[in-house]
Amino acid sequence: MLGNFSYCNPTKLYFGEDSLKYLNAELPKYGKNIVLIYGGGSIKKNGIYDEVVKILKDNGKNVAEISGVMPNPTVDKLYEGVEIARNHQADFLLAVGGGSVCDYAKAVSVSVNCGEDPWEKYYVRFEEPSCETLPVGCVLTMVGTGSEMNAGAVITNPHTHQKIGHVFADEKIMPKFAVLNPKYTLTLPHYQMVSGIYDIFNHICEQYFSGEDDNVSDYLSEGLMRSVIHSSRIANRDPQNYEARSNLMWAATWALNTLVAKGKSTDWMVHMLGQAVGAYTDAAHGMTLAAVSLPYYRHILPFGVQKFKRFEVNVWDVDPAGKTDEQTAQEGLAAMEGWMKELGLVMNISQLGASAEMIGGIADSTLIMNGGYKTLNRDEIVEILKECL
């Protein structure tokens, strides 16, 4: 059943080896005061920072900077960035980095003119902005989150051990444009690359494994998953393969820009579990998802056997002949496990720094969603997390 929905995604994307030049087409649309936002400084080593700064200067912009945005951007970093953007009277926020930097820029965008504490308003009460927001543009250097074409922004509060994502309702929070140059992703360490790949794949799973759906979104999801599996195997063997890296970059965008969720319910419990692990360990996002996925999916499989069976046949090409539905469904997860190990993903949370003593706290930090095949209770979450150790 394809339910009622609206769809609008106005982000303009510039994709390819020469895409940075299109900043020259976009920047004149916005005011003079730009805040350039980036992470730990890798863009200074690989030359992207210099290229971007030159284009900003050529366009006569007045630039302030927020640097040091961490992989899990904290609420304190958010407060700091809001101050910088306010003092600069920012007209535009330009994020150069991966999903964390893009997410952070969107969080600053909705907070600059917000009279309240943005953590309380957006991440505790989940309200929408009631103030003017700032336009955001992205130059993407890491692949995985899809943040370049959606209205989501994940922020971590280390004081309360919470890592929470807010997907804003208004498409004006989406980046106005994003520059996607696959070449920028070629220098990423293997660990980050495969972490991003699993993030892509799991975004699709979160939207696919829900409902007794039979709709366009599920067919598109299957196509995207097949594409990610195919390209990830090439990129894993040969990280310098531009074709594979460019396909992964494009698939990542479509895995989480709202399309494959349209007209159906969605799950998102792997993200809730993984984000709680991340709040305790500060581990790479994709690896937290990888480490909790299989125990979670095996736990919910009995409540969604038909979809897991379809997953095996349509995504993993396993022949269902002569098997029970349950066997077929289990084989899909076994095929997925084989692929995850082939990529070298982290398969348990102990390796990420989580311990048995943390389980209770992680379970308390796990938001419980109700769109999937089974709404978990706290005991089930503890049980699943123990299996993830």
Q: What residues make contact with a second copy under the rule CB under 8 A?
A: 1-19, 22, 171, 182, 214-216, 219-224, 226-227, 230, 243, 246-247, 250-251, 254, 259, 262-263
**Residue 105: closest CA among 22, 35, 194, 4:** 35
Contact 266, 205 (CB under 8 A): no
**Residue 314: closest CA among 296, 330, 326, 332:** 332
Least distance (Å) between residue 200 CB and a second copy:
11
Least distance (Å) between residue 225 CB and a second copy:
9
Name the residue with tokens 């070449």: 183
Nearer to a second copy, 28 or 302 (CB): 28
Least distance (Å) between residue 19 CB and a second copy:
7
Least distance (Å) between residue 17 CB and a second copy:
6
- Region at 36 (left for phi over 0; alpha for psi -120 to 50; beta for the rest): beta
In b/e form, how buried is each residue of 41-79, taking b as 16+ CB within 10 angstroms? ebbeeeebbebbbebbeeeebeeeebeebebbbbbebbe
Nearer to a second copy, 72 or 253 (CB): 253
For residue 140, the tally of other CB atoms under 10 A from its CB is 31
Nearer to a second copy, 254 or 311 (CB): 254
Nearer to a second copy, 244 or 385 (CB): 244
Least distance (Å) between residue 201 CB and a second copy:
13
Q: For residues 135 and 123, what is the distance between their CA atoms, to the nearest angstrom?
A: 20
Kindly report the length of the chain. 389
Nearer to a second copy, 2 or 368 (CB): 2
Nearer to a second copy, 19 or 275 (CB): 19
3-class secondary structure, 36? strand
Q: For residues 287 and 310, what is the distance between their CA atoms, to the nearest angstrom?
A: 26
3-class secondary structure, 140? strand
Least distance (Å) between residue 343 CB and a second copy:
18
The Cα diameter of the chain in Å comes to: 68
Nearer to a second copy, 162 or 236 (CB): 236
Least distance (Å) between residue 347 CB and a second copy:
26
